[in-house]
Amino acid sequence: MAQSSIRNNYQLLVIGGSAGSLEVLINVLPHLRNDLALAIVVVMHRKPGESFLTDIIASKTSWPVKEAEEKEAIQQGHIYIAPADYHLLLEKDRTFSLDFSEKIHFSRPAIDATFETASEAYGGAVIGVLLSGANADGASGLGLVKKAGGLTIVQDPSEAAVPYMPEQAIQQVTVDYIATTTMIIDIINRIGQ
């Protein structure tokens, strides 16, 4: 877990989570610096038709929050939420594509699909954060973020409400940080300083 792995040229923060992660997310987002030069993409597992996630997150942060739209250009200073029941992919021209392919790890949106295409589109400029959850989604995608030179952070399983998802990532990937909620906030806020 090298401290030196934090650089200041990140452009995109992708946060993935499943069971037990919403609380972490709404604890982290309000404490992020307002001047971070990042676009934030949130991929949360949930049931199709559950659309209140965007509103909940919007109520917790001063950043503009919206559901990611098909072919929308990704802008820094915005938080984008993956819509329920679609995979959210990032294109090389830094726009979003939605995709209704098979579920991955029983999930759509799948965190793996977003991590994978984010690392393709942004290379090493990605910070991948994986939170609490009950399945193995996110681990292989986080491996690709790492391989492309991005920064990888996994919620400390001892703090996670459901430790399985962070544990899977830690087993499969040499992640940069295994961090509690407080540490996650601290690491992200140090970027660009």
Partner 1 sequence: MIKDEEVGILLNDLLNKYGYDFTEYSQASLKRRINRLFALDGFPSFAELRYRVLKDEAYLRRFVEEVTVNVTEMFRDPSFYRILRTEVLPVLATYPFIRIWHAGCSTGEEVYSMAILLQEANLLQRSLLYATDLNPDVLERAKQGIFPLSQMKQYSENYIAAGGTKEFSSYYSSRYERAKFSKELSERMIFSTHNLVSDRSFNEFQLIMCRNVMIYFDKELQERVLHLFDQSLEPLGFLALGSKETLRFATIAKRYTQLYKEKIWRKAA
> Catalytic residues, which ones?
18, 45, 137
Q: How many residues bind partner 1 (CB under 8 A)?
A: 20
From 5, 120, 134, 156, residue interacting with partner 1 (rule: CB under 8 A): 120
**Does 113 contact partner 1 by CB under 8 A?**
yes
Q: Which of 56, 70, 75, 149 binds partner 1 (CB under 8 A)?
A: 70
Question: Please, are residues 122 and 11 in contact by the beta-carbon 8 Å criterion?
Answer: yes
Give the nearer residue to partner 1 in terms of CB position, either 124 or 192. Answer: 124
Per DSSP, the three-state class of 97 is: strand
Radius of gyration of the chain (CA): 15
Does 50 engage in binding with partner 1 (CB under 8 A)?
no
What is the b/e burial string over 147-162, where b = at least 16 CB atoms within 10 angstroms of the residue's CB? ebebbbbbbbbebbeb
CB closer to partner 1 out of 4 and 49: 49
Q: How far is CA 66 from CA 22, 40, 151, 158, in A?
A: 16, 11, 24, 31
Q: Phi then psi for 167, rounded to 5 degrees?
A: -60, -45
Beta carbon of residue 162, minimum distance to partner 1 (angstroms, whole number): 25
Q: Taking CB under 8 A as the rule, does residue 52 contact partner 1?
A: no
Q: 87-90 and 96-99: which strand pairing?
A: antiparallel
| 86 contributes a contact to partner 1 by CB under 8 A | yes
Closer residue to partner 1, CB minimum distance, 23 or 70: 70
Among 18, 21, 54, 117, binds partner 1 (CB under 8 A): 117
99 binds partner 1 (CB under 8 A): yes
